[in-house]
Chains A and B, each alone.
Chain A
């Protein structure tokens, strides 16, 4: 009991500070499943009407929600896979090999990581147009993955740095090739990092708005974030109920992932090997 008493001031403060957020979330959830009279905020009827966009035929000129969801999923997954694969290998090289220009590479990584994406967007736009990947999902994936890489490489390098050299020496002494050593002995030690990075880049891809908006504005490559903007941009008939419902739908996977994997995600800050 005394345990709780010591913590209650902190808990109270945290509750007060997060109250507005919690109310907003609650309201968002209630609101998407109910209707209320025009002159009141109090709901009077439970309904799934607002989610009809999930099963009704899409209005003309608007993309199909499932196609958009699939796009978003492909976008986020591919980005995550590319970021993980490249970070896994690059970070190992950076952590272990003493190749020429290594220091500049490391410095460059930090600068790139801190670099605001917006300032690059016009150049990227032009490049994509020239190579013909403008307004395609592939183009946005490439750009997104490239921009996520500095972060991924940096994080993975931190994990590799924590793996003792001696494990690798022992592996080599045991007769394993450098590749086997990396694959069988080192990767398992940094596996929590790979996992966390995978989820982070997936979530980052899932919520990305700017890049798809600018580089793939057409209906074919639309993702959920741009789909939502399209909903309110269409100012002839703004449907807030629909907007909220889509928002709800959009947020669900993120919440689910956090709930399921929150323990593993902590690893990326802990950054170490677990026996």
Chain B
């Protein structure tokens, strides 16, 4: 079902956490609410499921205004970060609880629980209490419980934060698979960009209670709307150099100059964003510096390069170079992939 936030505003006492937010989640789409800690992701999520009252604006499920409906009347499935399974009930009872509350027939409940258990691959675990399940298994039970009522929308609040790295990888694709198989509309709250990029159709990047950009993952990475987005997406992160703009060329602080035929001549100062993969020997020469630090990541190596003027650039390259800390380098930039921002951080 399509979910729409219209001028959604949320205050806690006198503090406005979210002001006039507009967001549309398409039917069957999985959307990531991505942003740094404290930007209002959970608040938005809790407003959609009805735990928080809205202080202004509307929340629509399809055409229906649900802003004033209590949680119980909104058909929403939620997976909490801590899973919030009921500790005294076994997996079966946990999953069946929403149906029991709805007073479905026992035979119906049984059939539905087994269906959803099959979808989430937990058929053998139904007798176990949450305490006897691993993190990933608890996650599956929580997912099954959230899905059993066939909700209009599935909300996931940092569902992978409590899992170890390997399980996180597995559950990432599992959640996506289940979402695609059920065709449910889903919102994933996360502060992990990799999670957002790999699992979701679109990402809404939030900052200080506002949505700064709403786009497809690749589009957002390649075409960030401003410096914040460019900085937030990408790991290892982008680096910025302040450049002077004159006569269709950009003069970098280390003296290197690059042609910039498409920039507005009125802009005198420009911040150049250089992603680590846009700087290296494969792009020619001209930028001189010294290797300050090497981080070996197995398949790749990450270099911190100090330029002649003291500013630092990052570069990521396939392993196997014989460079050592202190070595002099002369590398080039991938000119097509550089990002330009004005001093306020807006994209040029």
Contact = CB atoms under 8 A, between A and B. Distances in A.
Interface of A: 164, 166-167, 169-177, 180, 185, 188-189, 273, 275
Contacts of A189: 87-88
B80 A172 contact: no
Given A275-B130, A275-B131, A174 B97 contact: yes
Given A169-B80, A170-B80, A175-B98, A273 B87 contact: yes
Interface of B: 49-51, 70-72, 76-78, 80-82, 84-88, 97-98, 101-102, 129-131, 145-146, 149
Given A166-B82, A169-B51, A175 B129 contact: no
Contacts, number: 61
B137 to A, nearest CB: 14
A177 B87 contact: no
B88 A188 contact: yes
A176 B101 contact: yes
A187 to B, nearest CB: 10
Contacts of A164: 82, 84
Q: Which residue, B51, B76, B87, has most C-beta atoms of chain A within 10 A?
A: B87
Given A188-B88, A275-B129, A275-B131, A176 B82 contact: no
A169 B98 contact: no
B98 A174 contact: yes
A95 to B, nearest CB: 17
Given A173-B76, A174-B97, A166 B84 contact: yes
B71 A172 contact: yes
Given A275-B129, A275-B130, A275-B131, A173 B78 contact: yes
Nearest to A185: B86
A274 to B, nearest CB: 8
Given A188-B88, A275-B130, A174 B82 contact: no
Majority-rule SS of A interface residues: helix
Contact of B72 (A166, A170, A177, A273): A177
B84 A176 contact: no
Contact of A170 (B78, B88, B129): B78
A76 B151 CA distance: 50
Contacts of A166: 80-82, 84
9 contacts: A170-B78, A171-B97, A173-B51, A173-B78, A174-B97, A174-B98, A175-B101, A275-B87, A275-B131
A164 B149 CA distance: 23
A72 B102 CA distance: 45
A171 B49 CA distance: 12
A175 B88 contact: no
Contacts of B85: 170
Contacts of A170: 78, 80, 84-86, 145
Given A166-B82, A170-B80, A172-B71, A180 B101 contact: yes
Contacts of A172: 50-51, 70-72
A166 B45 CA distance: 14
Nearest to A174: B98
A273 B84 CA distance: 13
A173 B71 CA distance: 6
A206 B86 CA distance: 36
Contacts of B82: 164, 166
Q: Which residue, A167, A170, A185, A188, has most C-beta atoms of chain B within 10 A?
A: A170
A190 to B, nearest CB: 11
B87 A169 contact: no
B133 to A, nearest CB: 10
Contacts of B70: 172
Q: Which residue, B51, B76, B97, B131, has most C-beta atoms of chain A within 10 A?
A: B97
Nearest to A274: B87
B101 A173 contact: no
A173 B49 contact: yes
A164 B78 CA distance: 16
A169 B87 CA distance: 14
A189 B84 CA distance: 13
B80 A174 contact: no
B86 A175 contact: no
Contacts of B71: 169, 172-173
Contacts of B81: 166
A167 to B, nearest CB: 5
Contacts of B76: 173
Nearest to A275: B131
A124 B93 CA distance: 49
A176 B49 CA distance: 14
A169 B86 CA distance: 11
A240 B81 CA distance: 66
A160 to B, nearest CB: 15
Contacts of B88: 188-189, 275
A169 B72 contact: no
Nearest to B75: A175
Contacts of B49: 173
Contacts of A174: 97-98, 101, 145, 149
A173 B86 contact: no
Contacts of A167: 84, 86-87
Contacts of B101: 174-176, 180
A105 to B, nearest CB: 21
